[in-house]
Chains A and B, each alone.
Chain A
Amino acid sequence: MTMSPAVITRVSFSRRLKDRVVLGLVWLAFAVAVVPLISVLWLVIKNGIARFDLEFLTHSMRNIGARDAGGGAYHAILGTLEQVGLAALISVPVGLLTAIYLVEYGQNRQLARSISFFVDVMTGIPSVVAGLFVLAFWVLVLGLGYSGFAGALALSILMMPTVVRSAEEMLRLVPNDLREASYALGVPKWKTITKIVFPTAFTGIITGVMLAIARVAGETAPLLLTVFSTDSINEDPFNGPQMGLPLYVFDQAQRPNVTAVDRAWTGALTLILIVMLLNLVARLIAWWRSPAKGR
């Protein structure tokens, strides 16, 4: 800089220009990111709404000919709800208990460190590999066949690390003061955890669990390898192939008929609605809790 004492000079033109160019680029980046989202949402709504009717929500694809219109995704929606529900039932308890172990009991033990490491590894497992594992273990080695439950197993492997990590984060946010206050009352550690620490972290944990559920609800690849696929309603997740909504979309999108592609769009719309609803609920819970924190 030149010495110009006490004179307010304008920033040089080239520097201002650079600043402006970057501003433009940053805006452009944002636009570029948003355009596909709008395009996807717009097309899903536009193409999906046509078949988003009562028949779609209440009928399966049984006895629907290759070129026929009509038919629906009832079997797939039912399957998805069952599979995701079972996956949550498996992964949430294991995930929460693991998080409690890591935060409250693990301290710096070797076991805790290796669990933590492998939870990280698990986070990075591609969903298709989780599907392959359940295929190898459940279907091929144990010979238990394709079923909704096999799909739930694969989904729970994908959910577990998310649940552990988010619960862990929430438990660590609970101030140590509260634990000490409880110990000082002569409350045993496990009751301190279940009655003081856990309730304090509860809404945060629920938010994390909902987000984890929303994430696996849209998974297709693991289902493809484990629940197989069917056009009929199968209410029993423990026996025989089922359908899942993401799988339904994949299946219909590959069929060469316009009627099938229409159903794929509607399936996608339904799937997005379910996932967004789960996300919304999670955010509402988080939002509902946050103002209380300050008070």
Chain B
Amino acid sequence: MRRPAFRRSRGEGPFRFATTGAGVVVLAIMAAIAVFLIVKAIPALQANTSSFLAEKIWTPNATEPKFGIAALAFGTVISSLLALIMALPVAIGVALFISHYAPRRLAGALGYVIDLLAAVPSVVYGLWGVIFLIPFVQGPYTFLNDYFGWIPLFAGDAVYGKSIMTGSIVLAIMILPIIAAISREVFLQAPRALEEASLALGATRWEMIRMSVLPFGRPGVISAAMLGLGRAMGETIAVALIFPATFDITFKVLSNNGNSIAANIANGFGEATPIGQGALIASGLVLFVITLVVNTAARLIIARRKEYSRAAA
């Protein structure tokens, strides 16, 4: 068998080498990330005098270092999930609005507004959260706490405003654009023929959307939600400014609690000793693994959908 042999042209070899080399560099970077994080985490993990997975407190700078990921991982997951629960319905609504409800002219402009929302740096949201949102939510929190405090979720001391809930609200605002943008994309891809077929059957617009757009878009929306979740988990600065940096595992989302792996890295880095830095790196590894799992799940769903839509084409 002959291979396409462009071997004679000078320049072909070096160019091909450069492109392949660049690709290999990407692989090398990924390998280096894994290797160096692990290498720097190990000494700290060895110095740890308690269980890294089960321990809640974080005192790696003490002479007897004690630190564990439990409370931080819990905070990361609960605040991100809460953010997703708040963002997802709104994002789907926004996506539907742009893809099927807004006048065509407006739709393009609204798409830009969503992109704009995505372009605002997270530190700005953090600043907004600290200066504006925290005082703003104190009233509503107190109200919820006073009247619905019997629900465990709203129990605890809710007057501070710095809480899991506040962080989640900011996270929700931050992940909304990406979920909305991807969902809009999949809604727009819904086969027109199917939509017209249901309209021709006398369906109202909502019935048409429910019958032909939503089922078609479901896998895309699910994976968009997962990608959003991954983003929320890795988000650092905004929540570092908002969370009160406690180390409890609690579902009292309005109380003066809250922390996440990323926020802890940002807040704890300044005074970290070498062991402390190693401990933070170890926590970063955990964050990396969690987001990797979430993102991979999202990508698998997208890949499945692609196969499906190709078969349908």
Contact = CB atoms under 8 A, between A and B. Distances in A.
Interface of A: 1, 11, 15-16, 18-19, 22-23, 25-30, 32-34, 36-37, 39-40, 43-44, 47, 93-98, 100-102, 104-106, 111-112, 114-115, 118-130, 132-133, 135-137, 140-141, 157, 160, 164, 188-191, 193-194, 214-215, 217-221, 224-225, 246, 249-250, 253-254, 261, 264-265, 268, 271-272, 275-276, 279, 283
Most buried by A among B26, B90, B125, B204: B26
Interface string B203-218: 0111101000000000
Given A33-B90, A128-B266, A221-B265, 6 more contacts: A18-B206, A37-B117, A37-B120, A129-B33, A221-B236, A249-B124
Given A29-B89, A129-B288, A191-B11, A271 B277 contact: no
A56 B114 CA distance: 30
A224 B40 CA distance: 18
Contact of B124 (A15, A30, A225, A271): A271
Given A190-B16, A221-B262, A136 B173 contact: no
B29 A157 contact: yes
A276 B294 CA distance: 30
Contacts of B235: 126
B68 to A, nearest CB: 18
A211 to B, nearest CB: 9
- Chain A interface, DSSP helix/strand/loop, else mixed: helix
B93 A26 contact: yes
B128 A44 contact: yes
B19 interface: yes
Given A126-B288, A250-B237, A271-B124, A189 B207 contact: no
A15 B204 contact: yes
A141 B36 contact: yes
A141 B101 CA distance: 55
B81 interface: no
Interface in B124-141: 124-128, 130-132
B26 A272 contact: no
A-B pairs with lowest CB-CB distance, top 6: A29-B93, A126-B234, A218-B121, A97-B22, A188-B9, A124-B295
A44 B131 CA distance: 11
14 contacts: A27-B97, A29-B94, A33-B90, A34-B113, A105-B16, A105-B20, A122-B26, A124-B230, A128-B287, A188-B9, A189-B9, A218-B123, A250-B237, A279-B116
- Chain B interface, DSSP helix/strand/loop, else mixed: helix
A135 B204 contact: no
Interface of B: 6, 9, 11-12, 15-16, 18-27, 29-30, 32-33, 36-37, 39-40, 89-94, 96-97, 101, 110, 112-117, 119-128, 130-132, 173, 176, 180, 202, 204-207, 209, 227, 230, 233-237, 240-241, 262, 265-266, 269, 274, 277, 280-281, 284, 287-288, 291-292, 294-296, 299
A47 B124 CA distance: 12
Contacts of A189: 6, 9, 12
A253 B22 CA distance: 40
Contacts of A194: 15
B266 A133 contact: no
B97 A275 contact: no
Given A44-B124, A276-B119, A97 B18 contact: yes
A94 B26 contact: yes
A79 B148 CA distance: 49
Contacts of B19: 97-98, 100-101, 104-105
B132 A39 contact: yes
B292 A121 contact: yes
Contacts of B121: 217-220, 246, 268, 271-272, 275
Given A132-B265, A189-B12, A127 B236 contact: yes
Contact of A225 (B113, B202, B269): B269
A102 B23 contact: yes
Nearest to A1: B202
Nearest to B290: A126
A5 to B, nearest CB: 14
Contacts of A11: 202, 204
A25 B91 CA distance: 12
Contacts of A100: 19
A156 B262 CA distance: 20
Contact of A39 (B9, B26, B96, B128): B128
A11 B15 CA distance: 66
Most buried by A among B19, B21, B90, B112: B19
Most buried by A among B123, B125, B287: B123
B173 A36 contact: yes
A118 B119 CA distance: 25
Contact of B101 (A26, A127, A160): A26
Contacts of A101: 19-20, 22-23
